[in-house]
Amino acid sequence: MKSSRRSRHRSRVLGAIVASAALALTGVAGAPVAGAQSSVPGVDEVVSSPNMKHLANVPKQAPFNTENAIGTDIAFKDNHAIVGNYDGFVIYDIANPAKPSIVSQVLCPGSQNDVSVSGDLLFLSTDSSRSDDSCSSVSQPASDPASWEGIKVFDISDLTNPRYVSAVETDCGSHTHTLVPNKNKKSVLLYISSYSPAADLPNCQPPHDKVSIVEVPVKNPEKAALVATPVLFPDGGNAGGPNPVPDLPNRSATTGCHDLTAFPEKDLMAGACMGDGVLIDIKKPLEPKVVERVQDNENFAFWHSATFNNAGTKVIFTDELGGGGLATCNEKVGANRGADGIYDIVGKKKEPKLEFKSYFKISRHQSDTENCVAHNGSLIPVPGKDIMVQAWYQGGMSVWDFTDSANPHEIGFFERGPVSDTEQITGGSWSSYYYNGHIYSSDIQKGLDVVDLQDPRTDAAKKVEFDEFNPQTQPVYKKKHS
């Protein structure tokens, strides 16, 4: 989810969508999958294609049961799902996917609180200005030079009792972060994505065309430290500008990156950097180098996230038009905005090129009270196929096939009706990921959902298992992993 200034995260997320009322709801367009609904479901009504079976929901529980306690990203460890929340994080036991249960909850406010895991360590992104780096901090203006935001480190060797270990402050905070294991295996590197500098923010000064890299020693996590701040766009990024469609948000200028996805086996990273989509060479981990860069000033407003296919020959970039708050899944916005852009990686290994092939967007129109746009997803590991599951906020989750880059198509979906049919309340699936045979979704307001995808086209994926999975650190899928 996008926010324009560090000190405005919560108000931006929950209340910045007045323009959405102008976006009209119309009938379903395109060719939906078999079993798709022909009208908007009722409030909280669950609907799905026949091949998507809803196994379980665990509602948010106190102190995370308020509208402001927004559920965010997910990481996985030893059949546990760890779900970030604007107020901290929650650990679920998912050994029995049909009966997930809460193991522990950690109250540690500071949006977005995106998470990743490595062994007994958990990392938590804080992207709102706080009075200090503790979990008892309070909100404080980003214009105050004493304010803090950055990355926190927890020991989760005891999943029932996580222990706060250390923190590292980073410029402009940590909106998201991407874990890359260090080749010496003695530490992990965290590539911190942050953006939106301003002259009146002492800890977030323009230009901000860089990432921050934090190194965390595995055996001494209390010694986590900032080790590099490489500039990705020395000549500046996309300057941004008006959206070609009236009444839609402007195209974002590039002032940092929103999300980075690593493919460690290829020493490659894909960056969604607000106005730019990039490929980054990370052979020298502390000296990442942009080797390819594309823009889409006609249809993309905010480059949000990236996903490689398993062969590392394609990248899916998402456009989070409206920052996750607008109702963009409708006829007015159309099929090419607030969508995925599919790019093939072509050319020589040392000089890769991103070649645009097509767009993908869910065809089920949502109501004008439902925030809906392309968001976080992961591959479904089917050998020889490129299939992924993806969150669309109140558009639910979609399973779609992009094996033919020029002709992607949906093969399954799950969604709820609007949180409200009279007012816009930010809700829906923030992240939808495939892990060890099932789909897990972090719903902003409804908690954790578990879905069983029952389809012969994806059955082979059930043979792939991981003890640990961070979706923004893509592995190469094989039948068994430890």
Domain definitions of the chain by residue range = 6-469
pLDDT at 350: 85
CB 166, CB 122: distance < 8 Å: no
Please state whether 172 falls in left (phi above 0), alpha (psi between -120 and 50) or beta. left
How much is the pTM? 0.93
Q: Tell me what pLDDT residue 33 has.
A: 44
CATH level 3 topology of 6-469: Methylamine Dehydrogenase; Chain H (2.130.10)
pLDDT of residue 3: 57
Q: Alpha-carbon distance 46 to 279, whole Å? A: 38
User: What is the pLDDT, as a whole number, of residue 39?
Assistant: 82
Question: How many helices and strands, by DSSP H and E, does the chain display?
Answer: 1, 30
The pLDDT of residue 479: 56
Can you tell me the distance from the alpha carbon of 125 to that of 463, in angstroms, rounded to the nearest whole number?
Answer: 32
Q: What is the pLDDT of residue 349?
A: 83
Asked if 245 and 289 count as a contact pair (C-beta separation under 8 A), the reply is no
Residues 476, 229: Cα–Cα separation, whole Å: 28
Grouped pLDDT means (10 residues each) for the chain, 482 residues: 49 33 30 52 97 98 97 98 98 98 98 97 98 98 98 98 98 98 94 97 97 98 98 96 94 97 97 98 98 98 98 98 97 96 94 97 97 98 97 98 98 98 97 98 98 98 96 85 42
Point out which residues pair with 126 in neighbouring strands.
Answer: 112
Give the Cβ contact number of residue 134 at 10 Å: 13
